[in-house]
Structure 1
Amino acid sequence: MNQHAMQSMRSLSPEEKETRENLAAFYRLCHMFGWTELIYNHITARVPGPERHFLINRFGLLYSEITASNLVKIDVDGRVVDGSDAPVNAPGFTIHSAIHIARDNAHYIVHTHTTEGVTVACSEHGLSPHNFYGAQLHGQVAYHDFEGISIDLGERERLVKSLGDSNYMILRHHGLLTCGESAAAAFFRMYQMQRACEVQVNTMKMGRELRPLDEAVLTRTVRQSQTAVAKGFDKHRGFGQDTYAALIRQLDAQGLNFRS
């Protein structure tokens, strides 16, 4: 970490420092799971406080290079507000800004272009509920039609309308998106949807129809997943909190200096 970055980190509020570390860890985990697209795509976080400021990756860095100190602070229009000259892919913030503006509970947003995610996004019927992971998301996933590369600010209103109050969205012909009140929640939701896509794509390779699950079973599975499994079977725990904490311990054990 250079001297300027060290001074900047020391001047941060404890809340922003924690947000930076959680977001940097999120980038490293996406790298670990292979949910990356070279230097493109983003994971963003709202900075705690009255300003409408957000953290995003410095354009040009790989996810494996992201640290708490090299995240860039921007405003709702993607303009850098932290006094640095860091390059930011502002058009790439279009999707994220729309949701951050509209949803007070969307503190973290992640968007991916995984092969399995894009494959399912291109399918006529979208995500199937008829596997272990898909069943957990039955009735939970929103869809947004492809309008071209998402650089048109005019798309933001339509995208927000498509998402509604869901925390899971498939951008048709494009990829996957999840959001959450915490990094843990957004990550765990992406893990659920990515795994559902992986199983669905592999099942499609068999060239046979999926064996359907009963509607009552699907309803019960969603309830179990959303209220029990994802909360570590403890109603007082945050969504995905235990899983995220375990993965951060793994990053620390590997000596990945994402906190710097």
Structure 2
Amino acid sequence: MPDILSKQEIEQFITDGFVRIDNAFSSDVAAAALDILWKDIPFERTNPNTWTEPVIRLGMYAQQPFIDSVNTPGLHAAFNQLIGADKWMPCRSVGTFPVRFPSNKQPNDTGKHVDASFPGDDPSNYFEWRVNIKSKGRALLMLILYSGVAETDAPTVIYRKSHIDVAKLLYREGDKGLSFMDLAGRLDELPKREEVLAIGKAGTVYLCHPFLVHAAQAHSGNTPKFMAQPPLLLRKELIITDSDIGYTPVEQAVRLALND
């Protein structure tokens, strides 16, 4: 399978923590996904007066349009480049959807965070899930746009280079790592980083380092925002020291932090 990411894009992923892929899947696939999602939303699609909440959370989605959107040849090629062939597991669902609507109400989920990747003491409590320096269980965070997202449409805020700071923080915690809430509570202590908005048309995918800090924000536009943020699962842990075969870009980013 031919490479899809240039050398410059791979370097950007290592140093900045993310890379954007335009036209990762077709507008037809995105439209089919939206048709499914709207059936589960308690608002009228064509009547903004019924959009009474800033966020509606929908359940797991594994129908064909969603599977097709995250399993294109191009995305698989990018996964191989960033993580290494045979080191990741194909997505069989895109997880839950926080659908964001224009609203005067403020959403209650806009804090900075890093997505956790393996269960803590209570697997049913996501806030107790954990993340460690070897990124057990998670190869990437993916931000998958199923609707067009402009600057006013509650684009996810990405904190450029923040994965470097998080890697340094996690290294001190060893294999146990930190819980989702413990890590979130320490993010404001980290260096201030440039904010980048995850905008793009439907079919855009941001491939993000698993340690990248990001945040939701309020919607001030006119069109509901549909974005999934599933993990790409890792078959094993990252190798960050003593490798006989070299290091993949996702591992190189961690090593960059530890050698800084």
Alignment TM-score, normalising by the size of structure 2: 0.25
Choose between structure 1 and 2: higher strand proportion.
Answer: 2
Structure number with the bigger relative contact order (C-alpha 8 A, sep ≥ 6) is: 2
Alignment TM-score, normalising by the size of structure 1: 0.25
